[in-house]
């Protein structure tokens, strides 16, 4: 058997991918990786201008077809619109990367309000469910697909001041496993990544604060944050045929943070 090159291993030609939260950070890096492997990509996020800028950057970098569809995943109609545009422009959906997330509350969980819970749950949990529900019929019609949910180490271990976010990401872990079991007979693989600290705008409150950043680095055996592209590499594997027997898995990508939990580094 001849050796496969990385390009052939992760060839996504003729595949169509949707990436939520695709205008920056992990979402943009994931969309770029999928497009580089040959996929046609739809990116979605709330704000049109940065979304169009991201689409232009991905097109320039990869030469791929990239469609920007402004949408809030907390809105049923907006979710349906994203999928409808993917089908109208590219013919279907094969890959869904659920990445859009929010964290409006920081502090003790009992200081949170119902509005904090509602906003977080609408995007971080129900948004993932809505996107999956809208994409599954399209995937099934094309013989199968891939759903990749971005959870977090915060869904596995308590992170101070991030209680609602932690609960929402724990829910993503269980949602992933429920969907994996229920969709297996449709040849749809569903997996989740639990990234640790990734240097993005979303995490800037951590890395921009020297005292907090120093404490975080001490908890990570590699003593660094990840680059978005490092998360995107694993997303690419899960989107490809090379991951055909991987479903219902929760994959840590955290520089050893969870393994070292409780260890004095």
- Quick check: 82 and 96 in contact, CB under 8 A? no
User: Which residue among the candidates 90, 129, 165, 197 is catalytic per the annotation?
Assistant: 165
Residue with tokens 């819970």: 117
Which H, E and C letters describe 175-204, residue by residue?
Answer: HHHHHHHHHHHHCEEEEEEEECCECCHHHH
From the centroid of its chain, how far is CA 89?
22
Nearest partner of 218 among 257, 161, 258, judged by Cα:
257
Q: How big, in percent rounded to 5, are the helix, strand and coil portions of the chain?
A: 50, 15, 35
128 catalytic per annotation: no
Point out the residues that are catalytic: 165
């Amino acid at each position: 058997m001849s050796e496969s090159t990385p390009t052939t291993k992760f060839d996504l030609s003729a595949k169509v991918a949707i990436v939520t939260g695709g205008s920056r950070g992990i979402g943009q890096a994931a969309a770029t990786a999928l497009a580089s492997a040959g996929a046609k990509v739809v990116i979605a996020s709330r704000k049109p201008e940065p979304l169009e800028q991201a689409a232009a950057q991905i097109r320039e970098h990869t030469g791929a077809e990239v469609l920007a569809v402004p949408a809030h995943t907390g809105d049923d109609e907006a979710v349906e619109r994203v999928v409808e545009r993917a089908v109208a422009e590219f013919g279907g959906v094969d890959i869904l990367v659920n990445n859009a997330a929010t964290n409006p509350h920081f502090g003790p969980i009992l200081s949170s309000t119902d509005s904090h819970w509602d906003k977080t749950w609408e995007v971080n949990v129900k948004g993932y469910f809505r996107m999956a529900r809208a994409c599954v019929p399209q995937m099934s019609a094309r013989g199968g697909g891939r759903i990749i949910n971005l959870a977090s180490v915060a869904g596995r271990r308590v992170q101070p001041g991030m209680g609602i976010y932690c609960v929402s990401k724990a829910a993503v872990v269980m949602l992933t496993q429920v969907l994996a079991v229920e969709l297996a007979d449709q040849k749809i693989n569903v997996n989740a990544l639990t990234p640790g600290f990734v240097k993005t705008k979303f995490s800037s409150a951590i890395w921009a604060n020297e005292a907090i950043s120093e404490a975080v680095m001490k908890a990570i055996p590699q003593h660094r944050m990840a680059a978005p592209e490092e998360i995107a590499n694993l997303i690419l594997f899960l989107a490809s045929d090379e991951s055909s027997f991987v479903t219902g898995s929760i994959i840590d990508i955290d520089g050893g943070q969870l393994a070292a939990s409780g260890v004095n580094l």
